Amino acid sequence: MNKYMEQTENYVLHTYNRFPAVFESGQGVYVKDTEGKEYLDFGAGIAVLGLGYHYPGFDEALKEQIDKIIHTSNLYYNVPLAAAAEKIVKASGMSKVFFTNSGTEAIEGAIKAARKYARMSGEKPGYEIVAMNHSFHGRSVGALSVTGNPHYQEAFRPLMDGVRFADFNDLDSVKAQINEKTCAILLETVQGEGGIYPADQAFLEGVRALCDEHGLLMILDEIQCGMGRCGSMFAWQQYGVQPDIMACAKTLGCGVPVGAFVLNEKTAARSLVPGDHGTTYGGNPFACAAVSKVFDIFAQDHILEHVQKIAPYLEEKLDALVNKYDCLITRRGKGLMQGVVVGNGVKVGDVVMQCLACGLVVLSAGSDVLRIVPPLIIEKKHVDEMAEKLEKALESLA
């Protein structure tokens, strides 16, 4: 294992401080390293592996597509693209989709679509976007520009202009940032990297109302919180508040790199046209075969219903741990996207590292939050095992 880690450090640009494990294989909700040690995975590749490892039927669908064709470019039609597009549009109740290679690219496309809509519609010929403090939308220059965290931005200024920041769950703060140049309001339905903060019902409804009142587009980032993680296909569906543009990725491909931005009818009809946007790999047959199969599995195996049943048990177990340990301050989250605030002299990074030593994969979010984002297929026995391993890690730190 040390050999692989050293080889990686020698040849891969050091932009990640990786944990000392080399994962080699996985099955169900478990992953193994090159030394044969098994870990319970409650990180799911940063909320990507919604179906865990080697879910029945998923690998077979990918292999079948490999035997046919894996790339055509967007100069031509392909069968999986048509199928995947229909499924995501119908699941969202929106109108059109553009497939990308990542969540970051989905945000970039959403920004372009919003600015083009403002120019084409005549309702609001502005270009500024109101985004949220403590948000995270990606690492490209455009996505960084709407990420409300100076830590990620400072080394890369000047960024894209025309971005104003408001406070999440503070509608008055959002109102104060709207002016004649504003074209859209962008936010995560549940803030992820910022510390697992779900939007308040009144806040999300208020943002929708502000957009309607001022002729703005509402853009929701569902890259991490979407695709079943919160108990509905998209988290905004629980609020009854539909965006004009939605960005998604992660569980959309369950490990195959793919993202998408989806537009409602009015936005699709008056924004991007041929020549405005493109991608060589986005929407290729291999990625779209993955997307299409994910939607099939969700429907056939009632994945959403399962998340709705298992999430309260996870919350119950985490709440019990918060009540038991002084270093765990509070829990917040939605569905299988949970965060536990760590404090009282204990660092969240130490908890993550000690959990790894105990055979449990968990993540951090922000500076002090333990992030729990397991595969959507976990059972009660896995939640129990997670709680036992987390307790063991906390006891060792104490």
% of the chain surpassing 90 pLDDT = 98
> Do the Cβ atoms of 318 and 303 come closer than 8 Å?
no
Residue 148 DSSP label: B
pTM summary value: 0.96
If you average pLDDT over every residue of the chain, what do you get? 97
pLDDT tens, residue by residue, 205-224: 999 999 999 999 999 999 99
Inform me whether the pLDDT recorded for 94 exceeds 60: yes
- pLDDT category at 123 given cuts 50, 70, 90 is low
> Residue 121's pLDDT band (boundaries 50, 70, 90)?
confident
Please identify which residue in the block is written with the tokens 């219903």. Answer: 305
pLDDT at 122 over 80: no
Say if CB 371 and CB 365 are below 8 A apart: yes
Q: Which CATH number describes the domain made up of 69-300?
A: 3.40.640.10
Strand locations in the chain, DSSP E? 23-27, 30-33, 38-41, 96-100, 128-132, 163-166, 182-188, 190-191, 197-198, 217-221, 245-248, 259-263, 328-334, 337-342, 360-361, 363-365, 369-372
Helix then strand then coil, in percent of the chain rounded to 5, is: 40, 20, 40
Interval 263-284: pLDDT, tens: 999 999 999 999 999 999 999 9
- Domain 2-55+303-397 adopts which CATH fold? Aspartate Aminotransferase, domain 1 (3.90.1150)
175/367 Cα distance (integer angstroms)? 28
Tokens of residue 197, six digits: 């903060």
- Could you tell me the two tokens for 274? 């041929």
Rounded average pLDDT over 178-198: 97
Domain residue spans in the chain?
2-55+303-397, 69-300
Encode pLDDT of 283-295 as tens digits.
999 999 999 999 9
Asked if 2-55+303-397 and 69-300 have one fold, the answer is no
What is the pLDDT averaged over residues 37-43?
98
**Segment 237-263 mean pLDDT:** 98
